[in-house]
């Protein structure tokens, strides 16, 4: 296992785990967000909502277990590929939502709080997709000791790196959201 691949797997896996749990626990909020986006045709939200949470949880499990070195290369890379596709799809979807709802504040529906859709929502999804490339492209599988770096130390570094990446990615849209009534120090409205 490569430390960078494991950190990427953990970073994306943790975000998908939190998001998947939120989508599974609060399907009504997810459904309401999808309706507010006005992008999905007809009643597509009725089948997207029950599927979204479990898919995120399945991918999260594959990435987290793969990052621990419990899964072999194939299942870990399959979960990483699924995360690349899902996060890339989210990024594209959120860009469309921004165009359709221009000037309106609509909930992201990402399962990570009540943050409105901003360009940073799409950036986060794209960054997560790019981060999921690490376990897809770098060596994965069981951990092996390397000179000067026992397995436990590599695992600690990977998990800590993944936690930091997940926290940063999850906080990005909320951290970049600018309240509508904000003015600069010079008194100029945003």
Distances (CA, A) of 169 to 15, 33, 98, 187: 8, 20, 19, 31
Kindly report the CA angle at 182 between 176 and 186, in degrees rounded to 5? 110
- For a pLDDT cut of 90, what percent of the chain falls above it? 55
Q: How confident is the model over 20-38, as pLDDT tens digits? A: 999 999 999 999 999 999 9
Q: How confident is the model over 100-109, as pLDDT tens digits? A: 999 888 998 8
Between helices 3-25 and 119-131, what is the axis angle to 10°? 130
d(C-alpha 162, C-alpha 68), whole Å:
11
Tokens 């950036």, residue?
123
- pLDDT of 89 > 90? The answer is yes
Domain ranges across the chain:
3-176
Predicted confidence at residue 174, as pLDDT, reads 64
pTM for this model (two decimals): 0.86
- pLDDT of 58 > 80? The answer is yes
Q: Is the dihedral of CA 53, 55, 58, 63 positive or negative?
A: negative
Considering just the CA atoms, what is the radius of gyration of the chain in Å?
A: 18
d(C-alpha 53, C-alpha 49), whole Å:
7
Q: How confident is the model over 159-189, as pLDDT tens digits? A: 888 888 888 887 776 655 555 555 556 655 5
Per-residue confidence band for 147, with pLDDT thresholds at 50, 70 and 90? confident
What value does the mean pLDDT of the chain take? 87
Q: How confident is the model over 110-133, as pLDDT tens digits? A: 877 778 888 888 999 999 999 999
């Amino acid at each position: 296992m490569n430390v960078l691949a494991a950190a990427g797997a953990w970073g994306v896996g943790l975000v998908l785990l939190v998001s998947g749990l939120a989508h599974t626990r609060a399907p009504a909020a997810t459904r309401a967000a999808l309706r507010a986006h006005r992008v999905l045709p007809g009643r597509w939200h009725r089948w997207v909502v029950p599927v979204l949470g479990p898919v995120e949880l399945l991918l999260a499990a594959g990435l987290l277990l793969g990052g621990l070195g419990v899964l072999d290369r194939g299942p870990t890379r399959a979960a990483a590929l699924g995360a690349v596709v899902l996060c890339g799809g989210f990024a594209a979807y959120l860009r469309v939502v921004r165009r359709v709802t221009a000037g309106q504040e609509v909930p992201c529906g990402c399962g990570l709080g009540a943050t409105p859709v901003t360009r940073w929502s799409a950036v986060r999804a794209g960054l997560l997709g790019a981060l999921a490339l690490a376990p897809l492209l770098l060596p994965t599988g069981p951990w092996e000791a390397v000179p000067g770096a026992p397995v436990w130390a590599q695992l600690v570094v990977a998990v800590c790196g993944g936690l930091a990446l997940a926290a940063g990615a999850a906080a990005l849209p909320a951290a970049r959201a600018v309240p509508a009534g904000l003015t600069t120090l010079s008194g100029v409205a945003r």
